[in-house]
Amino acid sequence: MKQWAISYLDKDGVQQRVDIDFQDRPSEEEVARLLRRDLFPVTDELNLNDLEGRTDEPTVKTLKDQNSVQIISITEVI
């Protein structure tokens, strides 16, 4: 497994970093799901059916629009 550094802006606009293990580079949607699970565990339980299928990357959109969390970069840790 490779390790990936995820940089993002938290709800206060402060840049944060978290490292995750993935075989290949994760998509922003995969990263958004992991961040939502860790940052907003109650929200993670909610059903996003009204966004799924109508918008690309519904979790990315929800995190940004409702929680002010924005993914900045996904880079491999060497």
pLDDT at 41: 87
User: Residue 25 — φ and ψ, nearest 5°?
Assistant: -60, 125
Report the number of distinct structural domains present in the chain: 1
**12-64 pLDDT, tens per residue?**
999 999 999 999 999 999 999 999 999 988 876 666 555 556 778 888 988 99
Q: Pick from 67, 74, 77, 78: which is nearest to 8 by CA?
A: 74
Q: Pick from 2, 16, 34: which is nearest to 73 by CA?
A: 16
Is the whole model's pTM more than 0.85, yes or no? no
Range of the domain at 26: 2-76
